[in-house]
Amino acid sequence: MKTLKQATFLKQEGNRVDIQCERDYVLHLYVLEQDIIRVAFTQKNSFKLDRTWAISPNRDDVPFEGRQRISTDGFSLPSYQFKSYGDVIEITTEKLKVRIHRPLALEWQYNKNGHWLPLFQERKTGAYQFGVSNHKIAHFINRSLDENCYGLGEKAGDLNRKGRRFEMRNLDAMGYNAEKTDPLYKHVPFYITRKNDVSYGIYYDNLAQCWFDLGNELDNYHIAYKSYRAEDGDMDYYVILGPSTLEVTKKYTALTGGTIFGPRWGLGYSGSTMSYTDADDAQEQLKKFVDLCKRHDIPCDSFQLSSGYTSINGKRYVFNWNYDKIPEPLKMSAHFRQAGMHLAANIKPCMLQDHPRYKEAQNLGLFIKDSESNLPERSVFWDDEGSHLDFTNPATIQWWKDNVKEQLLERGIGSTWNDNNEYEIWDDYAKCVGFGKEIPIKLIRALHPLLMMKASYEAQKEFAPNERPYLISRSGCSGMNRYVQTWSGDNRTNWTTLRYNIRMGLGMSLSGLYNVGHDVGGFSGDKPEPELFVRWVQNGIFHPRFTIHSWNDDKTVNEPWMYLEVTNIIRDTIKLRYKLMPYIYNIFWLSHKELEPMLRPTFLDHENDANTYAETDDYLFGKDLLIASVVEKGQRQREVYLPQNNAGWYDFYGQTYYQAGQTIYVGAPLERIPLFVKAGAVIPMSGRMAYSNPQADTIRELAIYPLKQSGEIQTSIYDDDGLTYGYKNGEYLQLNITLRSTQEAIYLDIQKQGHWKPAYQVIKLTLPTNETRQLIVNGTEFKKGTELSLAEIKEI
């Protein structure tokens, strides 16, 4: 590794400024937006990898072969000021300023009300290092002792990442410790720094194995710093100014293509377990799950078919049906469909060496090749060795799509569960086709799960073009948000996991992975005791993905009815999820349309409240629900801090009003966890406590939580058929609501837009039980519980 020091102006070309460094390196600065500037290095006029698969600023998809790394399509490319004086080169937009100093170090400032203030400074004693005899790269930034760091996707431990060191290397971390294990499944080299009331993000567009040190490392020869180091790849990163943390997250999510808007049923309860499909009578076990849901009155929208349906002697063989276990796949899928449940089948991208179709794939050239021969690479996989499919080969993509359609979709299984796709190939120079330009695996290991899920996504879209696809993927990288719902992998059953999975999910959400959840009840280890299971379900219903999934050491199964003494609590908790489904679907829509995270740390909406930066088990689900999870055994009362929102909070159950900015003690009986609603919110709720069928959703309630003081808040509530793309042609219903409170009355002005006709034709309006003010809706006085006809609401 050797430090770059030279920085001489070379040329200015449109929105790119080039700086000549030594060793044939050129530093390129791209002015992409007023608040986004890209920094990239080439050597001898070329990148190590000339394409990117993460960047999609216009929220269109990225082709399989990638987007040209030099492309600036989709960015506004604003005007900027350029000047050079002495040893300094300066680039200025309306919001960001970067100064390039010699020796090479970048100094960043931001504009606050006409004043330029420090944002961050690179290490003057060596900001950039590039390998001489190897391909390693490193970047160093001065670190402030009072700054906080967030993001990096799926990481264990506290939400604030400062003071720790993390590795990005996709691993199958079975039974991980949610407080300490690193690395995990996903590759998201993006983090947010918050200091001095301003936030900025840095995204490193590099798929190679890398490390982030956010204050763990000290070196006497340098002032405090944080670092990014990568084994290989390009030094190519984006600086994103907030100035709020929420704005950084939204801008990064937009940069990587936004969030897929999947079907409503993907937000419902999803059943799953390894044991059903591992059983000799798998089809009967699966049928039994459907029947038991009905018997115990448990609403369920989908079931994830674990990989046992592909097994031969206990091992897994993708696209191979074990007809001894499941003799009639069509009959099996029809049984689920009749119960209103959708199926998602587990598929894996590695074929074991004795796979019945291994030779077929080898003869077609579908595998990644060994670095020293033209034979398929061999890696450890599922207690054997196998070869990984090469998704940079168009022939592999087509073969995969054909098999998804033939083996799954045509058998009534409409969704894919893309699993075990970490691509643990440690032959660094194993050869990938690279769409005609060979690429070693070390440069794109994390890309393969992204291309795998894209291939599955396109197969589903081609098979059912009018339906929004639902996919799941465990591994992936930046950009996976465009295709899938994801989860935190194979967690371990204990109270510690319950606590730290909350923070893990929030970290993913801050990193653009909005549609996330966890294996409720824990995947591996001992089965959860009844109390832990109850608390996990109570937490799980307030995540976008709600799945109970397990592979317990004692072969037991985590099911809603696994403990009869608490089955009624589990049932009522899951039904609360369905009661709140209109609210959940609305925030899902906002995650897609407005790039709003669904899971939100409390500081995200209350950055001026210093108390919200403390590590906590509390979070927001959408902007309006404050979730105070119980993560300690035996706890029946909880201390809850109510963030200062200048409006107050209502207890969801008792509807008691509390002033904001205070700590309260509330009951937490086993039957429920504390839940609060922001004053000024309008929460849509359903009367349907079964699976998410909009045609049967005939009752709609708007629960109004008015401001206690005078004020006005505007909100919108979205709905559609939950399945098709009709919303793009106006087939949706959106209620645009203005809620105004005075000392004497509560005024609700509602207008509607869209052409979709829901099953519910009236809306019941409710207020807290102790509210005495008059309710006036669209100029007419209403009584509590009065129903409003949709036909009476004006269209915009």
Q: What is the CATH number of the domain that holds 767?
A: 2.60.40.1180
User: Residue 647: what are its φ and ψ, rounded to 5°?
Assistant: -140, -35
3-class DSSP state for residue 167? strand
Per DSSP, the chain holds a count of helices (H) and strands (E) of: 12, 55
Amino acid at the residue 503: R
Question: Would strands 16-20 and 25-33 be described as parallel, antiparallel, or unpaired?
Answer: antiparallel
- CA nearest to 474, candidates 512, 516, 506, 503: 516
**Closest CA relative to residue 66, chosen from 48, 50, 53, 49:** 53
Residue 571 backbone phi and psi in degrees, to 5: -60, -50
204: domain CATH number is 2.60.40.1760
Q: What pLDDT does 8 receive?
A: 96
pLDDT tens per residue, range 522-550? 999 999 999 999 999 999 999 999 999 99
* Cα–Cα nearest to 200, from 72, 95, 105, 104: 95
Last residue of one domain, picked from the residues 240, 255, 270: 255
Per-residue pLDDT at 785: 65
Is residue 329 helix, strand or coil?
helix
Phi/psi region, residue 258 (left: phi>0; alpha: psi -120 to 50; beta: rest), is: left
Task: Answer whether residue 18 is part of any domain.
Answer: yes
pLDDT tens for each residue of 301-341: 999 999 999 999 999 999 999 999 999 999 999 999 999 99
DSSP line for 381-434: ETTEEEEEB-TTSHHHHHHHHHHIIIIIGGGT--EEEE-S-------TT-EE-G
In degrees, rounded to 5, the angle at the alpha carbon of residue 161 between the alpha carbons of residues 159 and 163 is: 140
pLDDT band at 60 (very low <50, low <70, confident <90, very high): confident
Residues 6+ apart with CB under 8 A from 114: none
Residue 686 included in any domain? no
Confidence of residue 58 (pLDDT cuts 50, 70, 90): confident
Strands 186-187 and 476-477 come out as parallel
The burial of 669, by beta-carbon neighbours within 10 Å (0-12 exposed, 13-18 middle, 19 or more buried), is given as: exposed
Q: Quick one: average pLDDT of 24-49? A: 98
Q: What is the mean pLDDT of residues 371-400?
A: 97
164-191 burial code (b ≥16 CB/10 A, e <16): bebebbbbbbebbbbeebbbbbbbbbbb
| Residue 59 confidence (pLDDT) | 84
Judge contact between 346 and 471, C-beta under 8 A. Answer: no
The token duo for 274 is 């390894």
Question: 200 with 248: CB under 8 angstroms?
Answer: yes
β-sheet bridge partners, residue 681? 705
Residue in this structure with the two tokens 């963030």, named with its chain if needed: 643
Cis check: omega of the bond before 243, within 30 degrees of 0: yes
Is 343 among the domain residues? no
Nearest to 323 by CA among 295, 352, 281: 281
Query: Which one of 255, 286, 317 terminates a domain?
Result: 255
DSSP structure class, residue 612: G
CA–CA dist 787, 687 (Å, integer): 14
DSSP H or E segment with residue 230: strand 225-230
Residue 416 belongs to some domain of the structure: no
Q: How far apart are CA 67 and CA 530, in angstroms?
A: 50
Tell which phi-psi region holds residue 113, choosing left (phi > 0), alpha (psi between -120 and 50) or beta: left
How much is the pLDDT for 555? 86
d(CA 612, CA 617): 11
pLDDT level of residue 424 (50, 70, 90 thresholds): very high
If pLDDT is split at 50, 70 and 90, which confidence band does 419 have? very high
Which domain range does residue 756 map to? 693-792
What is the distance between the alpha carbons of residues 455 and 577, in angstroms, rounded to a whole number? 32
Asked if residue 627 belongs to a domain, the reply is no
Q: What SS3 class is residue 501? A: helix
DSSP 368: P
- How many whole angstroms separate alpha carbon 150 and alpha carbon 199? 10
Neighbouring CB atoms inside 10 A of 363's CB total 8
Phi, psi of 384 (to 5 degrees): -155, -160
Please state, in angstroms and rounded to a whole number, the distance separating the CA atoms of residues 90 and 565.
Answer: 68
pTM (2 decimals)?
Answer: 0.97
Residue 783 has pLDDT above 90, yes or no: no
- Give me the chain's average pLDDT, please: 97
Write the pLDDT tens digit of every residue in 208-231: 999 999 999 999 999 999 999 999
Name the domain count of the chain: 2
Handedness of CA 78, 81, 83, 88 (dihedral sign): negative
The three state secondary structure string of 92-130 is: ECCCEEEEEECCCEEEEEEEECCEEEEEEEECCCCCEEE
pLDDT in tens, 152-209: 999 999 999 999 999 999 999 999 999 999 999 999 999 999 999 999 999 999 999 9
Residue 111 lies in a domain: yes
> Rounded mean pLDDT of 256-276?
96
CA dist., res. 563 & res. 557, Å (int): 11
Cα angle, residue 702 at apex, residues 697 and 707 outer, rounded to 5° = 165
pLDDT of 786 reads: 76
Single-letter amino acid, residue 570:
I
pLDDT tens, residue by residue, 518-529: 999 999 999 999
- Mean pLDDT over 374-396 rounds to 96
Domain assignment present for 49: yes
* pLDDT tens per residue, range 571-588: 999 999 999 999 999 999
Of 589, 598, 596, nearest to 727 by C-alpha is: 589
User: Could you tell me the sign of the dihedral formed by the alpha carbons of 684, 688, 693, 699, in that order?
Assistant: negative
Pairing outcome for strands 88-92 and 81-85: antiparallel
CA atoms within 13 A on the CB side of 668: 25
Structure tokens at 407: 């083996």
- Convert the pLDDT of each residue in 468-525 to its tens digit: 999 999 999 999 999 999 999 999 999 999 999 999 999 999 999 999 999 999 999 9
pLDDT at 784: 64
**Cα-Cα-Cα-Cα dihedral sign, residues 604, 610, 611, 614:** positive
d(CA 337, CA 274): 21
- Confidence band for 796, pLDDT divided at 50, 70 and 90: confident
Query: Coil, strand, or helix at residue 469?
Result: coil
Burial of 137 (0-12, 13-18, 19+ CB in 10 A): buried
Residues in the chain: 796
Query: Which residue type sits at 14?
Result: G
Q: How far is CA 354 from CA 223, 362, 367, 424, in A?
A: 56, 12, 14, 19
Which domain-ending residue is among 197, 223, 255?
255
Residue 89 pLDDT > 70: yes
Sequence-ordered strand ranges (E) for 276-401: 302-305, 311-312, 315-316, 342-347, 350-352, 379-381, 384-388
Flag whether 317 is in a domain. no
**Within a 13 Å sphere around the CA of 553, how many CA atoms are in the beta-carbon half?**
10
What does the alpha-carbon distance between residue 493 and residue 415 come to, in Å, rounded to a whole number?
A: 27
> Is 529:566 a contact under the CB 8 Å cutoff?
no
